[in-house]
Amino acid sequence: MTITSPLKAIRQNCIECCGGSKHEVSLCPATGCSLHPFRFGKNPYSKRTLSDEQREAARVRLQNYHEANKTT
């Protein structure tokens, strides 16, 4: 028996419900389903709180990414 998080279990259920297609999960028309907001395996209602240091580190990573992928 494999132990998974509730969000991962919801994701697997949605994939199974959509015939095994991950792409079909994103197109799911069952908006009345109570699992619909959680179908991507993430909680859409939780807010991520970053400290100033974490925010700065993310800014630097994003800036480095853009500089590395710049096309001239």
Q: How far does Cα 50 stand from its chain's mean position?
A: 18
Nearest to 43 by CA among 69, 65, 10, 3: 10
Long-range pairs of 3-8 with CB within 8 A, sequence gap ≥ 24: 7/38, 7/41, 7/42, 7/43, 8/41
Domain ranges within the chain, ordered by starting residue: 6-68
pLDDT band for 72, please (50, 70, 90 cuts). low
Question: Mind listing the pLDDT tens digit for each residue in 1-51?
Answer: 576 899 999 999 999 999 999 999 999 999 999 999 999 999 999 888 889
Q: What is the pLDDT of residue 1?
A: 57
pTM of the entire predicted model: 0.61
